[in-house]
Amino acid sequence: AIDPNFDQNREQAGEENGVAVWGPVEPPEKLGIHGTHVAVDYDICHADGACLENCPVDVFTWVDTPGHPVSETKVEPTNEDQCIDCMLCVDICPVDAIDVDAS
């Protein structure tokens, strides 16, 4: 499961599409955690899609991650600033790849 304390335990490695990336990042195998308020661990996400299909405010978009051993697409929390903290994505993800900091 994603580490809910990733922002303390990891260093920010950069940014993609305006979304923070928390390392370590060693593409294509290690892609880090993407997002801060809504965070997706790309190394756990297997592209189930339930988060993207069910988020009421369309926070997520698909991105291609060719060569990643778990899946070659991931969900980026592109519109994380629109999140309404409903926690649906956290509850629905079958591999616990998402953390939402609703505090």
Element containing residue 9 per DSSP (H, E): helix 6-9
Provide CB contacts within 8 A for 70, sequence distance 6+.
43, 44, 45, 46
Beta-bridged to residue 98, according to DSSP, are: 40
CB closer to ligand SF4, 24 vs 102: 102
Per partner kind, with CB cut-offs from 5 to 8 A, the member of ligand SF4, ligand F3S, none near residue 48 is ligand F3S
Partner in contact with 40, chosen from ligand SF4, ligand F3S, none, beta carbon below 5 to 8 Å by kind = ligand F3S
Q: Count CA atoms closer than 13 A to 69's CA, side-chain side.
A: 5
Q: Give the total of residues touching ligand F3S (CB under 6 A).
A: 14
Q: Residues in the site for ligand F3S, rule: CB under 6 A?
A: 40, 45-51, 75, 92-93, 95, 97-98
